[in-house]
Copies of this chain bind each other. A is one copy, B any other.
Amino acid sequence: MTSPPDLRRLLASLVVVRCSGHLSDAQRRYPRWELPNAELRRLLAEGVGGVILLGGSAAELRLRTAQLQRWAGSPLLLCADVEEGVGQRFEGASWLVPPLALGRLHGRDPARAEALAESYGRCTGRQARLLGLNWVLGPVCDVNNNPANPVINVRAWGETPAAAGGLAAAFVRGCQAEGVLACAKHFPGHGDTSSDSHLELPLLPHSRERLEAVELPPFRAAIDAGVASVMTAHLLLPALDRERPATLSAAVLSGLLRRDLDFRGLVVTDALVMEAITAHHGPAEAAVLAMEAGADLILMPADADAAIDGLLAAVQAGRLSNAQLQASLERRRRALERCAPPAPPDQALDDLEQLVSGAEQRLSRELLAQSLQLQHSGTAAKPSGGADRRLPPGPGVNLIRLDTQLQAPQLPAMAPALLRPAAAGYGATVLDGRSPSPWSGDPEAPLALERLAGGPVLLQLFVRGNPFRGSAGGDEPWPAAVRQLLAAGRLAALAVYGSPYLWETLQPLLPADLPAAYSPGQMPQAQAVLLEHLGMGAAALEGGFTD
């Protein structure tokens, strides 16, 4: 019989807490969600077995993971939501175009698309390992068959089960070949919802047959590829369980996932702090319900101490069996055995100097090039640079829309989206949720043009699905604004970065000769490639040299 202190320690090893990738408390971006160092250190000393990291550069992350391993003593599961390459979250690593970019290529050339997805997984796994992570919280296995989905969108690998499954499985093979665990999510499928489970509990009304046909195949493909872990969705699926969301449902986790799909790896909950869970259950009960349902690991409980104490009480009361506990511990042990050993602390600089390989740089460029779409030819061949593609001479307006410009990694002060139009005489006006309103209130002419400078307008829209953002920009009248600018003879060019659905809505409104292009990527490299195709080559880098 395990003594209570030892038992508590074992249970703690099944909990994954959240911290910032920065070293100091003052640098935390989300202090409500990220443990301060003193508490983090105590929890690791008490046996907490995993950490999810967000924020910080690659260099900071490399030091941070070494610090966490040092504080813990025994090997940790160290993970991050790096679905789009490690550089999506940690600056300095590779930030790749979102997965959906490969979904459409898969329709035309599945072998090529899957080879690229495997390289994508390999790049992500290799860089994660060099930075001390051993667990990538991807691939998304959801089929994005609902363009109104506010939270999945370009994060999915495909709009069909075949594309999503083939590409997700390829990502798993690539990532895990580098000694880093992958994670298929969000089980049993979050693609066909139009609400955000970060904010409320979505309901999926599909039958079991429909789930077998659409939602489950990508998870089967990932499991066949040997994926080490599966993350649950905070979704209600009445066909499987009328009362509990998938995360807390024995029918979904023990019945469907373990028994029917024969998954033998780690089952981890999505973050238990999400409103879909916390609105209904306290942190202790949520953790116990998830373990009862069949989860092995508890991710981001609202209160880690309460969750561990709740699990301890549940084991002592016989609500959770010792056999189940031992099985979860054994799965965690086996998962850690599959991982490359922790990065040695004193090799940080060496690891960082080799972080992005030449092959990975080529992969970034290739993914961008093959996913670019142009108004003229549909897909990009090579930069034209012909006079017809040049912007009209400035002064003009470089009208940029994005969710927020505060700490926006896609819009550093030297972003091509700012510098290249500036070199052509187009001064930037940036719209986000905190701008003075650019809207007139007139649905036919929604832009209040008198609030902008005069001259031709280069319109650059950064829109994609993001957690907590609600609508993926779908509530802004961009089609009417494009028609308004065309009617006024002022639309010089259009760039859409992110959502293919916005591009597909706007593109048909454009004259055939209007310079316009789309990239699924929003990062500065995507801007450079896209604007090159609109006739804006590398600009002399402008501005001051200090701040």
Contacts and interface: CB of A to CB of B under 8 A. Distances in A.
Given A346-B346, A428-B434, A59 B63 contact: yes
Contacts of A33: 545
Contacts of A429: 434-436
A67 interface: yes
A474 B92 CA distance: 38
Interface stretch (A114-122, A162-170, A222-230, A404-412): A404-412
A63 B350 CA distance: 10
Contacts of A468: 543-547
A542 B438 CA distance: 26
Nearest to A543: B468
B353 A349 contact: no
Say whether chain A's binding surface is mostly helix, strand, loop, or mixed: loop
Interface string A15-42: 0001000111011011111000000000
A455 to B, nearest CB: 14
Contacts of A404: 413
Contacts of A26: 92, 356
Interface residues of A, number: 69
A66 interface: yes
A27 B92 contact: yes
A257 to B, nearest CB: 24
Contacts of A413: 29, 404, 406-407
Interface stretch (A50-58, A236-244, A311-319): A50-58
Interface string A522-547: 00000000000000000011111111
Given A27-B91, A345-B349, A405-B406, 10 more contacts: A23-B355, A24-B92, A27-B92, A29-B412, A29-B413, A30-B541, A30-B545, A406-B411, A428-B434, A436-B452
Interface of A: 18, 22-24, 26-27, 29-33, 54, 56-60, 63-64, 66-67, 70, 81, 91-92, 198, 271, 273, 345-346, 348-349, 352-353, 355-356, 404-408, 411-414, 428-431, 434-438, 448, 451-452, 466-469, 540-547
